[in-house]
Amino acid sequence: MKLCIASHVVLDEIIHLDGKNTESLGGPICYGSLLTKTFNLKSVPATKIGLDIVKKKSEELISCNINLEEHQIDANNPTTRFRLIAKKAGGRDLFLLSRCSPIEARDIHDSDGFVISPVFDEISPDTLSQIVKREKNRFIMVDPQGFLRTVNQNGAVTNKTYLEIDLNGVTAIKADEEELTALTGGVASIEGMKILKNKYKLDFIISTSENNIIFFHKNIVYSIVIKKVESPDNTGLGDILATGFSCAYLKENDPLWAICFGAGSVITALQSKMRGIGKIPISMKLIERNSTYLYNTVKFKVVD
């Protein structure tokens, strides 16, 4: 079984609260492809990377379950790079340092499922529509973070307050409160999820807020509370959640277990106390243990 993850390879410079400065491969493609390996699915990366780091990071990319093809190496543009500065009050400041070339529909290969998760506009809304039309009846997860992001003259990344994007034909979406607000014209939480579901006929909507994961399927809202885990690095947790859910759903076709496995993957990553892609779980047993615990704590309610 194959999962295609479409996103730029990213080189993250992470400045942590303790002052430690680390450099790590990142982005949904790296976090997701490595987690796909843990779930025993084949990763089909749809990505672009610059010549600036191909040789330096080739072994690390392979260890991330990413085997690049020649057409994915950009000879004219550098690898997409971000600087992430952790804030004491929570969250982070994000700066775009460089940007690789766009990913087109022709770069995205046939698979059993797809995670479309741009980091900064490398996948256009038109390309997304082409993929959805071409891959009818396939599982398609969208993380809209890269569609929302914009940058000022200093490289600081902020989010647009409104985003119009066609999600018809998409199976699932993972969006935090800010992204939900932009997608619905100002409505977040469960009401925002209901608007998206009704407008685009989405099967699954996952929304995150601090330690809460809200999962909307059919007319039932499921709530999962993740206990706070002290970790030196929270980068990539959304990518882990989206990929964990996608892998589990493709394998078992059970939505509730799938969201528990997505959340269980997040907890396992945090418990590792590792930074960057080093936090990606490699033990399915640990993920299963955390997922089973969460399954027994899920709360749900029926909504109109």
Q: Quick one: pLDDT band at residue 209, thresholds 50, 70, 90?
A: confident
At 39, is the secondary structure helix, strand, or coil? Answer: coil
**Per-residue model confidence as pLDDT tens digits over 247-297:** 999 999 999 999 999 999 999 999 999 988 999 999 999 999 999 999 999
For 247-264, b/e burial (b = at least 16 CB within 10 A) is: bbbbbeeebebbbbbbbb
- Alpha carbon 70 to chain centroid, angstroms: 25
8 burial via Cβ count (<10 Å: 0-12, 13-18, 19+): buried
DSSP notation for 249-271: HHHH--HHHHHHHHHHHHHHHHH
Q: Quick one: pLDDT band at residue 210, thresholds 50, 70, 90?
A: confident
Residue 58 pLDDT: 85
Backbone angles phi, psi at 92, to 5 degrees: -160, 160
Q: Quick one: pLDDT band at residue 109, thresholds 50, 70, 90?
A: confident
Residue 27 pLDDT: 93
Question: In terms of pLDDT, which residue wins out, 209 or 281?
Answer: 281
Q: Is the dihedral of CA 107, 147, 36, 33 positive or negative?
A: positive
**Per-residue model confidence as pLDDT tens digits over 162-184:** 999 999 999 999 999 999 999 99
Q: Which residues contact 48 (CB under 8 A, 6 or more apart)?
A: 8, 9, 72, 73, 74, 77, 100, 101, 102, 103, 107, 122
SS3 content of the chain, % helix, strand, coil (to 5): 35, 25, 35
Q: Which residues contact 105 (CB under 8 A, 6 or more apart)?
A: 127, 130, 131, 134
Residue 86 pLDDT: 84
Q: In the CATH scheme, what architecture does the domain 2-302 have?
A: 3-Layer(aba) Sandwich (3.40)
Q: Beta partners for 157?
A: 151
Residue 57 pLDDT: 86
| Residues 119/139, Cβ–Cβ less than 8 Å | no
- Alpha carbon 280 to chain centroid, angstroms: 13
| Residues 284/38, Cβ–Cβ less than 8 Å | yes
Residue 113 pLDDT: 97
Q: Quick one: pLDDT band at residue 44, thresholds 50, 70, 90?
A: very high
Question: In terms of pLDDT, which residue wins out, 18 or 10?
Answer: 10
**Per-residue model confidence as pLDDT tens digits over 124-166:** 999 999 999 999 889 999 999 999 999 998 999 999 999 999 9
Backbone angles phi, psi at 229, to 5 degrees: -120, 120
Backbone angles phi, psi at 72, to 5 degrees: -90, -5
Question: How much is the average pLDDT of 44-73?
Answer: 90
Residue 238 pLDDT: 95
Q: Quick one: pLDDT band at residue 304, thresholds 50, 70, 90?
A: confident
Closest to 205 measured CA to CA, from 162, 245, 149: 245
d(CA 246, CA 203): 13
Q: Quick one: pLDDT band at residue 17, thresholds 50, 70, 90?
A: confident
Q: Which helix (H) or strand (E) holds 129?
A: helix 125-134
CA dihedral 270, 268, 149, 78 (to 10 degrees): 90
At 96, is the secondary structure helix, strand, or coil? Answer: strand
Q: Distance between the two ends of the chain, CA-based, in angstroms?
A: 36
Residue 19 pLDDT: 78
CB-CB neighbours of 87 under 10 Å: 9
d(CA 28, CA 71): 20
**Per-residue model confidence as pLDDT tens digits over 59-99:** 888 888 898 899 999 999 999 999 999 887 777 899 999 99
Q: Which residues contact 277 (CB under 8 A, 6 or more apart)?
A: 24, 25, 26, 30, 31, 34, 64, 236
Q: Which residues contact 214 (CB under 8 A, 6 or more apart)?
A: 189, 190, 193, 206, 207, 208, 221, 222, 223, 224
